[in-house]
Amino acid sequence: MSVYLAYESYYVFMKKKCYIRSKISIMLVVLSVSLAACSNEKSDQATTLTNRLNSSQAESTQQPKESKEVLQKEQSLPNINYFAKNKSDRFFIDFEDIIAGHPYVGVRSPRPHNDAQVYFSNTDQRWIDAKKPSDYPPIYAVADGYVALPQSSFYNVVDHSNADPPWWHVAYNFTLRIAKDGNSYIEFLYQMEPYMIPDITGKPKDFYKQFILVTDGQYVKKGDILAYMYVPSFSEMTGSKGASSHIAFSLIKQPRTVYAPAIFSEEVVAKFGEIYRHPKEGWESKSFGFDWNRGRGLPNGMGWMVSGEENPFGDNPLDVLLFDGIKDAELDSKAMVYPQDLGFKSANLLYSQYGWGDTIIENIKIEEDWQLLFAGIGGPMKVVFKLEENGQYRESKVLELRPGQNFNLTHKNNFLGNASKFSILITDPNNWGWSLAFANKEAAFIAPGSTKDIPPQCPPGCPPSPNPYKLNR
């Protein structure tokens, strides 16, 4: 393994699995790789960082060969703290073009993920009928800045190394230098992930190149169109039925620090929040991906439960990051999905409740046959039913969310038989929040992710990955 690859692997392990910022030398990094104590742990946060900062993405983080004039102009970029007060009113995508999303969920959240995402409908007739790149969703410059574009940006292999079996797809990406912090650039990451491999759909390997309009080192103004997002049909998609065509975005302080992308105005964030809490096609959308759940019930913000290392405007942790890193400390960070939003129609509800923390709900009485939906924002969480039979108390564990598990929706049919009176004991030590709804037996319910009936174009393991060193064979 090269020194660079060893450094990259160690950083992914330490920063995104153990959440410790690496500040030691490359030599110590190489020695530390062999000592990884949690290397067998499945961490999608580490996988995401590997995906973004793999060998091809790393090219974009290296300073391009530019003229002295361009470098001087880059030196004039504002300090990142400029964006604490001077928010951008230009989101990088039009809200009418996306159907779902999630903010940056930090290392203090139930299941961290080091980027934010927006999602696209694979059944939108606009994309199905598209004939040229400009027919697809435009992607905008969020601020004035300079494009960093590696040669391989249009064919960036994204390996899901921790999946079983491992699989991969192709993304296209670039960054936009918008600010500085000391001698380091702050770049806005654009990573377009259609979940499509051009090679196996009869498209040329450089298919995505036509969707990128900018060149390396190019100066752009806020609002300029930089690229277009290719949205494939279901028949073209690769990987898992739980995948969803999306764009990942974040801030990156070179060379490897990842920040929540908290540079947008309150109005922009409010529109984004409405979309990630209430997807336009509903949670039963055929384009649903399980990562949608990361935004379910969260308050408005570009960052949620971030550490000081993920805060671009300071070194203090924040439960919600929306403003300047100071005013945000006053914001309510509670996440909540209300019972009427779980999947039953309000008219069919027999009993419902929601709350935060450890709770005992006593003497619930439901005299007709029922079904249950229970949602937990994050683990650990446990739900136990308690009832009296013939003078004896009996407890039944209904569900349990593990630590490190994010939003989970559980459906249960009546498992108590003829018992009409019972109590519920909820264990929620971290106060993530929970919601439950009982409905009559005949009430309709569609489980998220169950409507996608078209299998991926190529199952995991086919074709072989171009980056076999990335995969855990």
Burial of 182 (0-12, 13-18, 19+ CB in 10 A): exposed
Q: Report d(CA 176, CA 213) in Å as an integer.
A: 13
Nearest 5°: phi and psi at 84? -65, -35
pLDDT number for residue 69:
56
Q: Report d(CA 79, CA 179) in Å as an integer.
A: 5
Q: H or E element: which one contains 61? A: helix 55-61
In sequence order, what DSSP letters do the residues of 101-154 get, joined into one string?
EE-EE-TTSSS-BSSEEEE--TT-HHHHT--SGGGSPEEE-SSSEEEE--TTTT
Which amino acid belongs to residue 222?
K
Running DSSP on this structure, what letter comes out for residue 34?
T
CATH class belonging to 339-440: mainly beta
Residue with tokens 């929540």: 260
pLDDT number for residue 160:
82
Exposure string for 437-472, b = 16+ CB within 10 A, e = fewer: bbbeeebebeebbeebeeebbbeeeeeebeeeebbe
Global pTM reads 0.84
Residue 338's CB: how many other CB atoms inside 10 A?
A: 12
pLDDT number for residue 72:
56
Closest CA to 408 of 443, 379, 366: 379
Instruction: Report domain extents, the chain.
Output: 1-39, 42-333, 339-440
Q: Report d(CA 366, CA 372) in Å as an integer.
A: 12
Q: Report d(CA 298, CA 440) in Å as an integer.
A: 29
pLDDT number for residue 73:
64
Nearest 5°: phi and psi at 10? -65, -40
Q: Summarize pLDDT for 29-84 with one digit per residue, the tens.
A: 333 333 333 333 334 444 444 444 443 333 333 444 455 555 556 778 999 999 99
pLDDT number for residue 393:
85
Contact 128, 55 (CB under 8 A): no
In tens digits, what is the pLDDT along the chain, a chain of 473 residues?
A: 333 333 333 333 333 333 333 333 333 333 333 333 333 333 444 444 444 444 333 333 344 445 555 555 677 899 999 999 999 999 999 999 999 999 999 999 999 999 999 999 999 999 999 999 999 999 999 999 999 998 889 999 988 877 777 788 999 999 999 999 999 999 999 999 999 999 888 999 999 999 999 999 999 999 999 999 999 999 999 888 888 999 999 999 988 899 999 999 999 999 999 999 999 999 999 999 999 999 999 999 999 999 999 999 999 999 999 999 999 999 999 999 999 999 999 999 999 999 999 999 999 999 999 999 999 999 999 999 999 877 788 898 889 999 999 999 999 999 998 888 999 999 999 999 999 999 999 999 999 989 988 888 877 777 878 876 565 54
Contact 119, 173 (CB under 8 A): no
CATH number for the region 42-333 comes to 2.70.70.10
pLDDT number for residue 470:
61
Cα Dmax for the chain? 86
Q: Summarize pLDDT for 314-342 with one digit per residue, the tens.
A: 999 999 999 999 999 999 999 999 999 99
